[in-house]
Amino acid sequence: MPDPQIEKLLIVQSRDIHLLKIEQDLQRIPNELLSLKVKISAEEANIENAKKSLIEKELNRAVLDAKVKDQETSINRFRTQQLEVKKNDEYRALTQQIEQLEIDISSLEETEIQLMIDIDLEREKFEDEKVVIESRIVDLKRLVDVLLEREIALQDSLDTAKQQGVEARFGVDEVFLNHYERIRKMTKRPPYVVPIVNQKCEGCHLRVSNEVARGAREVGEPHFCDQCARLVYV
Ligand SMILES: [Zn+2]
């Protein structure tokens, strides 16, 4: 049977470990939230970029449309001029200009048709992808909610865990408790109170001296691993 003080310290230790776990879980949440938010922004940016590319193509189409209208206006102007010219060569020159413009218009219209086909395909693809991306965003936002709820729950249990740690310390012998607190600060990571099994410290897994192994059986005073300085018991 371990020293009754060690038994009390084992309860203190299990409550400290519980508290530490809550604190560590809480500490991780801001980073986890940040990484989710980065993912959401990236997904939203994907939608925006696809939208921009569509708008750009629509603008190009509008520019082509305006060019065609411009050239049609020029053709009409040349036709009016043709009614007024007296000389044959002037008339022919205007006819040539009109013919050239008609060739330009038909080439512009071809480009425009190709562009419209592109736009239709891209819009269709965009709409499909948007549905998928938006559902991913919904999932990510759900994870954010889960994390936020978890944070609240952890905050709630934090006070209780602290209180339980304080309560477990009541009635522990001061000498034992002071050593425990000292080791807890020094070791940083639990456990702080460990059994000796097969003459090995269960904290650092190294062999303890015969003196420590023998001493650990004695009740009434604390004993320490001569390798890692944790409190040991048998
Ligand atoms: Zn040790």
Give the helix/strand (H/E) hosting 187: helix 174-187
Asked if 150 and 143 touch (Cβ cutoff 8 Å), the reply is no
Amino acid, single-letter form, for residue 169: R
Please tell me the predicted confidence (pLDDT) of residue 2. 85
Give the β-pairing of 193-197 and 200-201: antiparallel
The reported pLDDT for the residue numbered 158 is 97
CA angle (99, 100, 106) in 5-degree steps: 90
What's the 9 CA to ligand 1 centre distance in angstroms?
A: 17
192 alpha carbon to ligand 1 midpoint, in Å?
9
pLDDT for the residue 206: 96
Which CATH architecture does the domain made up of 27-160 adopt? Answer: Orthogonal Bundle (1.10)
Q: What is the CA(209)–ligand 1 centre distance, in A?
A: 11
The pLDDT value recorded for residue 65 is 95
- pTM here is 0.73
C-alpha 112 to ligand 1 mean position (Å): 79
**Rounded (to 5) percent helix, strand, coil in the chain:** 80, 5, 15
Every domain of the chain and the residues it spans:
27-160
CA-wise closest residue to 130 among 37, 36, 45: 45
Give the distance (Å) from ligand 1 centre to CA of residue 170: 27
* Ordered mean pLDDT values, 10 residues apiece, the chain (234 residues): 92 97 97 98 94 94 96 96 92 95 96 95 94 96 98 96 97 97 93 96 96 92 95 96
Q: How far is the CA of 186 from the centre of ligand 1 (A)?
A: 13
Give the pLDDT confidence of 9-52 residue by residue, as tens digits. Answer: 999 999 999 999 999 999 999 999 999 999 999 999 999 999 99
> Which pLDDT score, from 0 to 100, does residue 121 have?
95
Q: How far is the CA of 205 from the centre of ligand 1 (A)?
A: 6
